[in-house]
Amino acid sequence: MPTVADRRQLSRRLPPLADADASGIERFLDAAWAEHGLSQATLSSYRSDLQGLARWLLDASRPPLAAARREDLFDYLAMRAGAGYSPRSAARLLSCLRAFYAQAVRTGVRADDPCALLQAPKLPRLLPKALSEAQVAALLDAPDVATPTGLRDRAMLELMYAAGLRVSELVGLPGTAVNLRQGVLRVTGKGSRERLVPLGEESQHWLERYLRDARPALLAGARAPAAVQALFVEAGGGAPTRQAFWALVKRHAAAAGIDPARISPHGLRHSFATHLLNHGADLRALQMLLGHSSLTTTQIYTLVARDRLRNLHALHHPRA
């Protein structure tokens, strides 16, 4: 199976984007943002997917993106499958293409939808990977809080676990999102939906220490520290990226004796949800805390909250 490096080398050999394709992609993204309020992360993924297809069509001397045929899309999906892309990646790509060509039909750019008979691959139902409560405690204790960066890392990890945040939500938090007096956090999630999440005493404690001791030290070299609006900052100003947070989670996991291959930043969100259910949280309340638009998304956590199910069975079953 080709490696990630092989796929990157393939993408470097593809031709540059045609002007018509580039403008068509941007028009679609602008309309998708205006009509559906898609997040910047989703728009970025859609842009990457459409640009990849457009370059492949041009390299293969096929019709341009707006005029692609069903067989072109089928061949492109088959090529990606052969290059080792996952079924989940193919499903996301197909979702993007359906939205793109549906808009092309609505706006009269083309008369037919080439995605009409394309079927999404069947995806395995992946269970969230949650850490144990002991592992979470070890991870939270790993940063060296004697340094400004370590204190910031501790506050970020504590907040992510206490509030069940997505990585993009965490690194994108403005300073105004936190109300320590009331003990709540205002989070802007997917689709620009806002939710209020209560903070625990531990996360409040570390946030207060970070804001008092670490953030001013990290901003000491910034040209205009008062203009930095991000809650969490790098040395000299600017918010950490999702990739930077991923790296620090892996680093602290290794220091805590946790296999870095078994943990991801999203794993803290999964741990938040699983541990709440294990301790008796209501599923509807968990939906609100996680910012899920549908309860169906939240229900997957009942499959991993085994401790709570065992306790319920032992407490209520006559033969337990």
DSSP string, 150-175: HHHHHHHHHHHHHHT--HHHHHT-BG
pLDDT given at position 307: 57
Mean pLDDT in residue range 257-281:
80
Per-residue pLDDT reduced to its tens digit, 108-164: 999 999 998 787 666 566 656 778 889 999 999 999 999 999 999 999 999 988 888
Q: Is 190 a catalytic residue?
A: yes
State the pTM of this model. 0.61
311/320 Cα distance (integer angstroms) = 10
172: its two tokens: 């994108």
Q: How far apart are the first and last CA of the chain?
A: 49
DSSP for residue 18: P
- Of 228 and 247, the structure prediction assigns the larger pLDDT to 247
Q: Is 301 a catalytic residue?
A: yes
Q: Is 269 a catalytic residue?
A: yes
Burial label, 264 (beta-carbon count in 10 A; 0-12, 13-18, 19+): middle
pLDDT given at position 317: 65
Q: Which of 190, 195, 242, 251 is catalytic?
A: 190
Mean pLDDT in residue range 65-79:
92
CA distances for 276 relative to 133, 280, 308, angstroms? 11, 6, 9
Q: Using alpha carbons, select from 49, 53, 44, 69 the residue that is nearest to residue 18.
A: 53
Q: Is 250 a catalytic residue?
A: no
- Structural domains of the chain sorted by starting position, each given as residue range(s) with its CATH number in brackets: 4-106 (1.10.150.130), 133-316 (1.10.443.10)
Q: Which of 166, 215, 270, 275 is catalytic?
A: 166
Q: Is 154 a catalytic residue?
A: no
Q: Which of 152, 154, 215, 269 is catalytic?
A: 269
